[in-house]
Amino acid sequence: MTEDGPCLGVDIGGTKVALRAEVGARCVAETVFAWQPRHSADRDLAQLAAHVGGLSERLAVPPRAVGVAVPATVGPDERITAWPSRPEWTGTDLGAALRALLPGTPVAWADDGDLGALAEARAADCADLLYIGVGTGVGGGLVLRGDLCPGLGRGSFEIGHTVVDLGGPRCVCGRRGCLQAIASGPATLRHAARLRGSDVDYDALRQAWLDAAPWAVAALRRTCRALAAAAAGVQELLHPRLLLIGGGFASGLPGLDALLTEHLAGLARPGHPPLTARPAALGGLSSLRGAVELARRTHA
């Protein structure tokens, strides 16, 4: 591969895929496409290969490395063991499929939440950082001394499946009381609807939050209390210096970081300063930027 070739990042989602090629810190090509409505793993992979090939043809030189953000659970044999959004991929040899996209080009992949944390840590210039993304689910990652924890090949940082309430609602994973079952966007909206006494969509919750409506404030306090409990547990064990909160749901609620910081302060032990929460800087681009960073590290 050419030394000056770009690093290519691919962020695979449940409904769409984003690609970005960078030389240094400069974007030289990017594209986003939606999965076809009628899909199978083979059809999806063919669509992905077509877009990767098309983007590569637009570049002056071929990519020197590829980093891929994936939301699926991948086993040690490189096969997908679970992906609720696209169950047809279960059993797919992800490693072989990704290496076939650009034969001969180094490729690496990691959990999308982990890579989001890696990108946010770089943007914040913080080597010890906890990132939580609140959207349809709750994901995130931990960076310690500039590297992902637990590290590539050792599984992802599944903070969304940290149990924060033993008697809490049932999670999609089958357990009760996972952070995701309490603090995800859909879980928060369901709780807000119970408090309001009628259905609540995201726009209604956001406006009510801005208006300080009691039911909206109470719903988001519950969400932040659960997020703070999970983050405080991570702090006790691994001591990140900063917490960033992002994801599509959280990013649209200004001031949520301040409410989360308030709950973190309430959980602090004497002599141990609490984490401070700040909004994530990259929004919906964190996993894609993290995939590019993974490609950069793979080549190095």
Q: 130: pLDDT confidence band, cut at 50, 70 and 90?
A: very high
Report whether pLDDT(2) > 50: no
Q: 300: pLDDT confidence band, cut at 50, 70 and 90?
A: low
pLDDT tens readout for residues 90-122 = 999 999 999 999 999 999 999 999 999 999 999
pLDDT tens readout for residues 70-93 = 988 898 899 999 887 788 999 999
270 membership: H or E segment, kind and range: none
Report DSSP state, residue 125: T
Q: Which residues contact 147 (CB under 8 A, 6 or more apart)?
A: none
Q: Longest Cα pair distance anywhere in the chain, in angstroms?
A: 61
Q: 43: pLDDT confidence band, cut at 50, 70 and 90?
A: very high
pLDDT tens readout for residues 44-72 = 999 999 999 999 999 989 999 999 999 88
Q: 169: pLDDT confidence band, cut at 50, 70 and 90?
A: very high
Least confident of 2-6, 16-20, 155-159: 2-6
Cα–Cα distance, 159 to 141 (Å, whole number): 8
Least confident of 147-151, 183-187, 198-202, 289-293: 147-151
Report DSSP state, residue 163: B
Average pLDDT on 281-297 reads 92
Report DSSP state, residue 38: S
Average pLDDT on 193-211 reads 98
Q: Which residue has the higher pLDDT, 152 or 114?
A: 114
Cα–Cα distance, 183 to 136 (Å, whole number): 10
pLDDT tens readout for residues 211-263 = 999 999 999 999 999 999 999 999 999 999 999 999 889 999 999 999 999 99
% of the chain surpassing 90 pLDDT: 82
Please report where in the chains the tokens 């408090």 appear, as a residue. 195
Looking at residue 4, its pLDDT comes to 73
Q: In what order do the strands lie in the sheet with 26-34?
A: 26-34, 16-23, 7-12, 65-70, 107-111
